[in-house]
Each structure stands twice: as structure tokens, then as C-alpha cells.
Amino acid sequence: MIELEEEGSMLTANAPILIAPSALTFQRDLPGFRGARHFKVEPLGGSLSGIFANLCCTDTVYLQDELPLNNLVLLTMSPGALWPDYEVHVEDEMVDQLEIREPDDVALLVIVHPQEPLINSTVNLYSPIVYNRRTGAADQLVPSVTEEEFRWSLRTPFPKE
């Protein structure tokens, strides 16, 4: 369920979405990747179609040691597909920056840290990517509380079932 809340005008988002091809423009550099602001979302096919996608940066990105990286690709997924109780609260400032006006505007992606086999992977549920499906405006939510207070971890394991 995605809803605009009355109290504090915050947005709650946790519904699973089928990821569609789109272009995202981040409001600031993706943390850890200087210059990474423009991305293409490329859904992966197969039996997990619409759940996983590659997030492909179209900018030249610089890592912390100033080396350029021209092909940054991050594996992402819709968190609600595996964690139905996943929920985040987005502050008013981000809601305004991303021009989120309706519940259907917002979607979440989380970055997957892939391992072989995929079931051994972890997911960053602590800092989801929040984006406006209508405009493509995006940002990564970086909570001001600890992982314990937030309830979700940077390295959440995949459910084993």
C-alpha cells in the first residue's frame, strides 16, 4: 500500500511494483559514485520479470580514488516483492523535490549485492531509491537513524523461503 499521510505529510511506500523501463534523474550524486545522476532502468526478463532490473548509469562516474568508471550497472529490485512488510517514510522535503503528488507517482528500488547463487545475495533495505514514476525524478533515501531504529539493514539477506 502506498499512501500520503496526514500527520507530518510524510509518504509511506511499500507496495511491490512491476519494474518498467524508464529513465531516472537523481537530485544529487548517488552516494559513493561522484557524477552518477542519470540512469536507465532496464528490467530483467525470465521468471523474475518485473521484479529485478539493472540500473545503468549513463554518466561517467568517479570513484573515491578519482578513477573514472564508464559502465556503472547496479542490480536493483522492487522490495515489496520479497518483503511485503517493507515500509519507509519519506520526509516532506524529498516528496517536494521529487514532485510526488499522488500515491501512484512513487516507487522504490533497492540495490542488490549479488552473490552466487542469487539466494545468498543481500539487499540494501536501509537506503532505498525513491523515484517518481511519472517524472523520473529520483533520490536515495539516507535515514538519519540507525539501522536498528530504521528496522532494515544495509545487508539484509534474501528470505530463504
Domain boundaries, the chain: 2-157
Fold classification of 2-157 (topology level): BH3618-like (2.30.290)
Residues 6+ apart with CB under 8 A from 96: none
Residues 6+ apart with CB under 8 A from 113: 121, 122, 123, 124, 155
Q: What Rg do the C-alpha atoms of the chain give, in angstroms?
A: 15
The pTM score is: 0.86
Are the beta carbons of 77 and 52 closer than 8 angstroms?
A: yes
Q: Which tens digit of pLDDT belongs to each residue from 99-110?
A: 998 888 889 999
What is the percent of the chain where pLDDT is above 90? Answer: 47
Query: Which helix (H) or strand (E) element contains residue 22?
Result: strand 22-26
Closest by CA position to 157, among listed 116, 124, 111, 110: 124
pLDDT band at 138 (very low <50, low <70, confident <90, very high): very high
> Which pLDDT does position 98 carry in this prediction?
95
Are the beta carbons of 124 and 113 closer than 8 angstroms?
A: yes
pLDDT at residue 125 greater than cutoff 70: yes
